[in-house]
Amino acid sequence: DADVTQTPRNRITKTGKRIMLECSQTKGHDRMYWYRQDPGLGLQLIYYSFDVKDINKGEISDGYSVSRQAQAKFSLSLESAIPNQTALYFCATSDSRLARGNEQFFGPGTRLTVL
C-alpha cells in the first residue's frame, strides 16, 4: 500500500542537541506538511511544502527548519532542541491533483522527548 513513513518513531534527546525527523511517502503526492501535537491541544502546523522548490512557514515555525529533498521526502530539524519541543510530531501529505486535494494523509508520528 502507498504509505507515509516517519523515522524515528521515538526519540529521547537532551537540550541543545540537533535533531532531524524524517518523512517519506510512496503516495506520489506533491504536498507535504509537518505538525506537532501536544496533550489537550490541536495539531499545529509547523511547515509545509507544496512542491520540491516550495517551503512555507506554518503557525509555529520558530525553532524549526525543514528540507524538501525530493518530492517523496520532507525532513524536519530542531537546530537546538529545548524541553518545550517535547511533543508528538506528524508528517502528512496531500495531492493537489485530486478533486478533494486538501485531504491529508498522516504518517504514524514521532514521539520526541527533550530532557
Per residue, the 3-state secondary structure of 41-83, as one string, reads CCCEEEEEECCCCCCEECCCCCCEEEEEEECCEEEEEECCCCH
Cell digits of residue 14: 537532551
Q: Please state the closest distance from residue 51 (CB atom) to another protein, in A.
A: 13
Contact status: 47 vs another protein (CB under 8 A): no
Tell me if 90 contacts another protein by CB under 8 A: yes
How many residues does the structure list for the chain?
115
Residue whose CB is less far from another protein, 82 or 98: 98
| Residue 10 binds another protein, judged by CB under 8 A | no
Nearest approach in angstroms of CB 16 to another protein is: 27
Q: How many CB atoms lie within 10 A of CB 18?
A: 10
Chain residues that interact with another protein, rule: CB under 8 A: 33, 35, 40-43, 45, 48, 58, 88, 90, 100, 102-109, 111
